[in-house]
Each structure stands twice: as C-alpha cells, then as structure tokens.
Amino acid sequence: MTTYIEGIQKNFKKSQENRGRLLINCPDKPGIVAAVSKFLCLNGANILESNQYTTDPEGGSFFIRIEFECLGLQEKKQELKEKFLPIAEQFSMDWKLVLVNELKRTAIFVSKELHCLRELLWEWQGGDLITDIALIISNHEDAREVVEGLNIPYYYIPASKKNRKEAEARQLQLLEEYNVDFVILARYMQILTEDFIAAHPNKIINIHHSFLPAFVGAKPYNRAYERGVKLIGATSHYVTNDLDEGPIIEQDIMRVDHRDQIEDLKKIGASIERSVLVRAVKWHLDDRIIVYGNKTIVF
C-alpha cells in the first residue's frame, strides 16, 4: 500500500519530470548568458527562472542558476550534457545539470537533542521537504521511537573520541549502502574526521547553536550568557575541516535580555535552530546554493 509520503513524492516526480536546473560558476566575461540561453532554446527548453550574480564586473566570478522545462528531459539528459561541454570549456565553467524529479537521498545524524530532527520530519511528513530520508544515524537511542514510527531505518552507533574511526567506518559504509546524496547534522554532537568530510565535500549540512563566528565550539549558550549578549542566533553551514568555520548557508537571531538564564537562552535558541536548519536544507534540495571559496551564493 502506498503511504501518504510516498504519494506526495510520486506526484512531485510526475509533475517535475521535464524540469531541470543548470548551475554555473565561471570567470565573468561577456556572452555567458547569451550562450547558455541560446543553447537551452535550441534544445527545446523554456527558461522558468534565472538568477545571476557577479562578484566584480571587471575580472570577477560569475554565478547563475537557471530552472527550465524541456519535454523529454529524462531521455535528453546525457545528450544535453555532451552538447553543453563545448560551451563549458569556452567559458571555463564549473557546472552541473540537475533533474528536479531525481529526489536527493538524505541521511540525518542526531544525538540526544531532538528538536531539529522533529522539525525536519514534520516538514517531510507535510510534503514541504521533498527528499528521500534514507536512514537516520545516532550515537544515542533517544530518537529510535520517533524514527521507527515513520518506518525510517534507524542505526545506533556509539561514537566518541575513543572509537571515532570505527564508528565513522560503519557510518560511511551505511551511507554508501543507502546511496546517500547528502548528510544533515541535526544537533549531532560529534566532531567529524577529515576522512569523513573528504568523502562528502559540501554535502554535509550542520546547525550550530550560535550566530557564527561568535562562540565557535561547545556550550555556546553558556558562553553567551556569561558574556551578557542581547542577541542570540543559530547558523547552518557546510562542514569543513575547520570546526564551525565552513561556508555559511543561513543564519537568524532573536533578542534576549538580562532576565534570561542559560535555560531560557537554550529554549529560545532551539526555535531559531529549527527554522534555520530547515531553510538551509530546503535551499540545498532546491539546488539554490553555489559554494565559492568559504562563502556561499544562495539564489
């Protein structure tokens, strides 16, 4: 029997079967937009949305995201990629062509605090987070009941400094087995190794409970309280080898004052974390993010 979520995904894939996205990053020069637009037109594509940005009109970098409709796109995908190669080479493009109805497969990592996980699952159940949640991995058992009630595979893998390599080897094995496209760290309170990050570059999204670059690392709410801040926030970013310093995707803040204790800050912050992480994940799923050095262009 088809579940409600499977029905949503089936309808989405059907409605988007001829829709594609083209993301491009290259040195800026005249003629890029004209060449790309002409290529799409000559291949029967109708542009639905186009966003572009140039870092510097003279010698800068150029970014563009184009969403288009093209009849028979499923069959044309490889042909379009091959035909586009001369244009990509002409303009020294870093580019990718994405079919919208090919849902990204997601893995969620979580520890004991479940508010971000619950928000992601709520959006997913409501059809507002269009992805295949392939599995959920945790170093605690706290989320098992929530997850297994939704028929999502749940793996408990204890992780600490003592067994980090063994734990990550098992995690990487599972990500490969489930053919995962990207990873969400929904308050997963473990530091990932360089090998793990290298296996999924710019495909691991973290939520940090602070408005980075302030209060990097552990216990940011405690340090915010000690500092007497008047604003607290959360930051979603791609994970790199530098702790909490990867390319920032989204941030938000809320005002606090001297009456708020540490537990108050945590409660307020949890609300910010949920919304910031969900927005970042949705933008990733919609292919709206281009990583540029240690920054992001978000269309």
The count of other CB atoms within 10 Å of the CB of residue 115 is 17
Tens-place pLDDT, residues 16-36: 999 999 999 999 999 999 999
Sign of the Cα torsion 182, 298, 249, 213 reads positive
DSSP label of 262: H
For the chain, which domains are there?
17-99 (3.30.70.260), 105-298 (3.40.50.170)
Answer for the pair 205, 236: CB distance below 8 angstroms, yes or no: yes
Amino acid letter, 226: E
pLDDT of residue 48 exceeding 90, the answer is: yes
pLDDT of residue 2 exceeding 80, the answer is: no
Averaged pLDDT for residues 117-132: 96
Strand-pair partners of 154: 136
Tell me if residue 251 falls in helix, strand or coil. Answer: strand
The values of phi and psi at residue 243, to 5°, are -55, 120
The per-residue pLDDT of the chain, averaged, comes to: 94
Q: How confident is the model at residue 247 (pLDDT cuts 50, 70, 90)?
A: very high
Tens-place pLDDT, residues 85-106: 999 999 999 999 999 999 999 9
pLDDT of residue 1 exceeding 60, the answer is: no
Sign of the Cα torsion 209, 213, 214, 219 reads positive
Strand-pair partners of 132: 105
Catalytic residues, by residue number, are 244
Please count the residues of the chain: 299
Amino acid letter, 136: I
Q: What is the pLDDT of residue 244?
A: 86
Question: Distance between CA 164 and CA 200 in Å, rounded?
Answer: 17
Residues 6 or more apart whose Cβ sits within 8 Å of residue 85: none
Q: Which of 78, 50, 82, 79 is nearest to 63 (CA)?
A: 50
Answer for the pair 107, 184: CB distance below 8 angstroms, yes or no: yes
- Which tokens hold the place of 185? 């760290």
DSSP label of 134: E
Q: How confident is the model at residue 3 (pLDDT cuts 50, 70, 90)?
A: confident
